[in-house]
Amino acid sequence: MTRWWKLYQHLPYFEQAAERKPGSFITEGSLFHVEYEQGLNEFLRDYHELDWTDTHYPDTLEAAGISTVEQMAEAIPIADMKVLKALLTHMVREERFAAGALAQYASNGMVADVLCRLKETDTLR
């Protein structure tokens, strides 16, 4: 078993998170932020502890012909580890620019799909 199991161990959480919002918008005056469920926060902790970030993820995704959310979803079933890493980095990093983005990826099933493919790809090694 590789160190990536620490990420795909969260697969059951994300399978259950699909079709619901695993985060709540909190408004404080004129500011707002997203408060995530414990399961999503635990995933983010493990993701950051592993330091499995593609610092060139825009270039990686562009080289793979991925520029839209639809193309991201289409790429997941055939993605290799490099593209999976870029996809997951994109999802996590987008949260910095759009509050709730990661919750959206969780609720539409894309995080679960990436983790499932990661597990599949990792066990084939």
Total number of domains in the chain: 1
Residues in the chain: 125
Domain enclosing residue 13, as ranges: 5-123
DSSP per residue over 30-67, as a string? TEEEEEE-HHHHHHHHHHHHHT---TTHHHHHHHTT--
pLDDT of amino acid 84:
96
Q: Indicate the pTM of the whole model.
A: 0.88
What are the pLDDT digits (tens) for 29-48?
777 677 888 999 999 999 99
The helix-helix angle for 81-94 and 110-123 (nearest 10°) equals 150
What are the pLDDT digits (tens) for 80-109?
999 999 999 999 999 888 888 998 999 999
Residue 76 scores a pLDDT above 80: yes
